[in-house]
């Protein structure tokens, strides 16, 4: 009689790609799941989900999904998902290094090209903002300032296309423009 509960459990788990992760053939869902796995410290599983998403997006030929996967890889490498945390090498940490930041920037740049091509301006704005963060962390002030300007332009395009769109802002920031102005001030960007 123990066989039935074990088979039932196996059937339930077969529908999941990992414990706590619902199986999906949508690469954007897998990217979201990868971000959650990374937040939980499940770096290896996050990378697996991103790789699965990449295979699906490539097979489907959907460039917007591919851009989402690139953005996901960018976040993965930005946040230290270089594999060091997976291997737990002595004397090495899972924090992002210059190499991780370079990989992240490369993936964000690839995502930006596709988001711009397909006029997905809200995601384009986000990717440029993420690129600005990395440029700032690597002490490339000029690139950070340029990316913030590009983020603002893309946000204006997104708002023009969808005026009813709501942006979630940090407390104390009244508009996206104000947030960009504050970020540029903190970085020390030249006044326009």
**Is 1 a residue whose pLDDT tops 60?**
no
Calculate mean pLDDT across residues 132-138: 94
Residue with tokens 């917007």: 64
Res 149: pLDDT: 97
Res 48: pLDDT: 94
**Is 133 a residue whose pLDDT tops 80?**
yes
Say which residues have a Cβ less than 8 Å from residue 1's Cβ, sequence separation at least 6. none
pLDDT band at 100 (very low <50, low <70, confident <90, very high): confident
Res 92: pLDDT: 39
Res 96: pLDDT: 52
Calculate mean pLDDT across residues 15-26: 62
pLDDT band at 141 (very low <50, low <70, confident <90, very high): very high
pLDDT band at 5 (very low <50, low <70, confident <90, very high): very low
């Amino acid at each position: 009689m123990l066989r039935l509960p074990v088979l039932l459990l196996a059937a339930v788990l077969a529908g999941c790609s990992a414990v706590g992760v619902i199986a999906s053939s949508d690469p954007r869902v897998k990217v979201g799941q990868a971000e959650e796995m990374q937040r939980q410290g499940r770096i290896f599983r996050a990378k697996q989900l991103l790789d699965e998403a990449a295979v699906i997006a490539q097979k489907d030929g959907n460039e917007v999904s591919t851009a989402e996967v690139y953005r996901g890889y960018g976040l993965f490498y930005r946040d230290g998902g270089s594999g060091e945390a997976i291997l737990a090498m002595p004397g090495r940490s899972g924090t992002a290094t210059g190499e991780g930041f370079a990989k992240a920037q490369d993936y964000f740049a690839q995502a930006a090209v596709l988001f711009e091509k397909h006029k997905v301006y809200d995601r384009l704005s986000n990717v440029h903002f993420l690129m600005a963060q990395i440029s700032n962390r690597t002490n490339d002030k000029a690139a950070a300032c340029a990316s913030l300007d590009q983020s603002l332009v893309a946000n204006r395009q997104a708002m023009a296309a969808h005026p009813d769109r709501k942006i979630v802002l940090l407390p104390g920031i009244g508009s996206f423009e104000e947030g960009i102005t504050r970020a540029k001030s903190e970085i020390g960007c030249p006044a326009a």
